[in-house]
């Protein structure tokens, strides 16, 4: 009778083995090498030889699943036995459990994936800031509750969105910090019976520290859940940008580039902004990922379980891949496409978006208290509407009749650029205020990039030293 049931072999063992063989082998060799070094530092016989043997194994391909070894760890163990003998292979397994080994590998691999997502997010944020700088003076109508609200600028909008994404970056960085902790040395759960230096092993693997409690090290699933939630939040943010870009594309304010748009098989006039639709598909999966990881952690015993060990690494890998895809597609869409200023002005033609400015000028100029100013402007709008006119067609006589005054200051209140110039507060829409905010945003982006590069360098250096 075969060792493995056919269904179990196909649905579980082969699938996990294939994923680990394709993605995780270098991380397994790293973790095993670090543990061997930890044992060698204690003078454990043959541990130093295990370090050397693992170095020789690195360039050798791992065989495909045959059923002889149930997973990648045992496949490496077989190779080590064949290459260096049972004493060397046996030395490496002293106090080592797949519980702490697997989770060390999963965290190290996921750390790399998070760094890749963060890199793509940094590049999208950079693109938004470049566009925000070039469109500081590009007028647009800002909407609230799906109705024209006030004048703004495209640069102000794009800088605002970068601001939002900077917080998504912060959430990813927090998830990275949680993931970037080594379980190695926890053994099954109580800790290795050999006094290996867990902190040293974590440094050799490029981790930022250890999971301090060995029980927690093998039982925790929150590191994966935290990442999924951060990715879901990122997906939600990106979905809002996609929605606005699609709405602008529909209204002629955003023209998707030829290389990222598609036509129709039957309608020759079509120029479909499909790159944005493809990005929306990816972020939908990101948003759903948090529910999956929540279910994998929900009501599970606090101990080593497949639910939040082998059960999370493949979903997390896919979520990170979806995040990278969505971020890249959006960045490319912004690089290949153009905003059309005339389309961004939709809703500003009748100047109704400046009604609040009239109220504000009446109050700030000492003409009327706020309540009275609001009532008078509303009466003016009703009068104009009854005559089939708009604020854009207001005469000095209209202002005098309904507001009680018709000064140059009130007439200037109906100019969109005057509206922008009066918003000088930090982060406001005035060109000078936008520039101050952009300086802060560029500085923050540079710091985020520097901190990310520092983690990348730490991991890369540790990996080089461990494999040398």
- Condensed to tens digits (0 to 9), the pLDDT of residues 386-395 reads 999 999 999 9
Q: Which DSSP state fits 393?
A: G
Query: How do residues 210-226 score in pLDDT, each as one tens digit?
Result: 999 999 999 999 999 99
Closest CA relative to residue 152, chosen from 346, 436, 409? 346
Cα–Cα–Cα angle for 326, 327, 328, rounded to 5 degrees: 95
- 23 pLDDT tier (thresholds 50, 70, 90): very high
Q: With 0-12 CB in 10 A as exposed, 13-18 as middle and 19+ as buried, what is 248?
A: buried
Q: In which band, very low, low, confident or very high, does the pLDDT at 84 lie, cut at 50, 70 and 90? A: very high
> Which pLDDT value is given to residue 270?
87
At 307 the pLDDT is 85
SS3 254: strand
Please give the torsion angle defined by the CA atoms of residues 203, 205, 207 and 213, in that order, rounded to the nearest 10 degrees.
Answer: -80
Q: Which neighbouring-strand residues pair with 150? A: 142
Closest CA to 403 of 357, 438, 448: 357
Q: Is the pLDDT of residue 237 over 70?
A: yes
Is residue 108 pLDDT above 80, yes or no? yes
Q: Which class for 456: exposed (0-12), middle (13-18), buried (19 or more C-beta within 10 A)?
A: middle
Q: What is the pLDDT of residue 299?
A: 87
Residue 34 has pLDDT above 70, yes or no: yes
> C-alpha angle with apex 75: 70 to 79, nearest 5 degrees?
155
What residues have CB less than 8 Å from 12, skipping those under 6 apart?
none
* DSSP E strand boundaries for 14-146: 139-144
**Could you report the per-residue pLDDT of 180-193, keeping only the tens digit for each?**
999 999 999 999 99
Is the CB of residue 362 less than 8 Å from the CB of residue 410? yes
pLDDT value for 392: 93
Q: What is the pLDDT of residues 151-180, one digit of tens each?
A: 999 999 999 999 999 999 999 999 999 999
* 268-302 confidence digits (pLDDT tens): 888 899 999 999 999 999 999 999 999 998 889 98
Judged against a pLDDT cut of 80, whether residue 2 lies above it is answered with no
Write out pLDDT tens, residues 305-341. 888 788 999 999 999 999 999 999 999 999 999 999 9
Q: Are 13 and 65 in contact (CB under 8 A)?
A: yes
**Can you tell me whether residue 153 is helix, strand or coil?**
strand
State what percent of residues in the chain have pLDDT above 70.
99
For residue range 397-454, list pLDDT tens digits in order. Answer: 999 999 999 999 999 999 999 999 999 999 999 999 999 999 999 999 999 999 999 9
The pLDDT score that the predictor gives to residue 1 is 56
Judge whether 404 and 369 are in contact, CB under 8 Å. no
415-418: long-range contacts at Cβ-Cβ below 8 A with a sequence spacing of 24 or more? Answer: 415/354, 416/139, 416/151, 416/348, 416/351, 416/353, 416/354, 417/139, 418/357
Average pLDDT of the chain is 95
The arithmetic mean of pLDDT across residues 459-465, rounded, is: 95
The predicted-structure confidence for 238-266, as pLDDT tens digits, reads as follows 999 999 999 999 999 999 999 998 888 89
What mean pLDDT do residues 350-376 have? 94
Helix residue spans in 139-273 (DSSP H):
154-179, 198-204, 214-219, 222-251
Q: What is the pLDDT of residue 187?
A: 96
pLDDT in tens, 37-72: 999 999 999 999 999 999 999 999 999 999 889 999
Residues near 444 by beta carbon (within 8 Å), at least 6 away in sequence: 166
């Amino acid at each position: 009778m075969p060792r493995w049931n056919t269904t179990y072999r196909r649905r579980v063992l082969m699938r996990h083995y294939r994923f680990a063989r394709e993605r995780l082998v270098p991380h397994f060799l790293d973790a095993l090498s670090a543990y061997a070094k930890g044992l060698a530092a204690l003078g454990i016989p043959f541990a130093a030889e295990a370090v050397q043997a693992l170095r020789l194994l690195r360039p050798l391909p791992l065989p495909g699943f045959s059923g002889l070894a149930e997973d990648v760890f045992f496949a490496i163990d077989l190779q080590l036995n064949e290459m260096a003998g049972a004493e060397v292979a046996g030395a490496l397994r002293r106090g080592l459990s797949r519980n702490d080994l697997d989770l060390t590998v999963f965290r190290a691999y996921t750390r790399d994936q998070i760094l890749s997502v963060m890199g793509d997010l940094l590049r999208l944020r950079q693109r938004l800031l470049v566009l925000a700088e070039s469109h500081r003076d590009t007028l647009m109508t800002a909407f609230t509750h799906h109705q024209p609200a006030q004048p703004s600028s495209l640069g102000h909008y794009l800088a605002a969105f970068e601001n939002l994404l900077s917080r998504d970056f912060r959430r990813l960085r927090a998830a990275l910090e949680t993931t970037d902790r080594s379980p190695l040395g926890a053994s099954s759960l109580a800790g290795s019976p050999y006094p290996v230096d867990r902190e040293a092993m974590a440094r050799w693997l490029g981790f930022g520290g250890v999971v301090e409690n060995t029980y927690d090290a093998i039982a925790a699933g929150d590191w994966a859940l935290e990442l999924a939630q951060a990715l879901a939040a990122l997906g939600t943010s990106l979905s809002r940008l996609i929605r606005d870009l699609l709405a602008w594309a529909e209204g002629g304010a955003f023209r998707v580039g030829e290389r990222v748009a598609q036509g129709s098989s039957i309608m020759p006039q079509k120029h479909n902004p499909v790159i944005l639709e493809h990005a929306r598909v990816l972020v939908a999966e990101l948003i759903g990922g948090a529910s999956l990881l929540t279910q994998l952690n929900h009501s599970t015993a606090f101990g080593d379980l497949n639910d939040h060990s082998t059960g999370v690494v493949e979903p997390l890998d896919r979520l990170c891949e979806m995040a990278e895809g969505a971020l890249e597609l959006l960045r490319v869409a912004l690089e290949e496409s153009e905003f059309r200023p005339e389309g961004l002005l939709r809703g500003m033609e009748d100047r109704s978006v400046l009604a609040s400015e009239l109220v504000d000028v009446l109050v700030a100029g000492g003409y009327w208290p706020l309540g009275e100013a609001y009532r008078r402007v509303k009466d003016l709008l009703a009068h104009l509407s009854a005559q089939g006119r708009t604020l854009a067609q207001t005469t000095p006589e209209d202002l005098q009749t309904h507001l009680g005054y018709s000064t140059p200051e009130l007439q200037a209140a109906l100019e969109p650029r005057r509206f922008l110039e009066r918003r000088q507060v930090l982060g406001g829409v005035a060109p000078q205020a936008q520039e101050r905010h952009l300086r802060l945003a560029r500085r923050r982006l540079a710091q985020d990039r520097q901190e990310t590069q520092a983690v990348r360098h730490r991991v890369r250096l540790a990996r080089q030293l461990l494999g040398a």
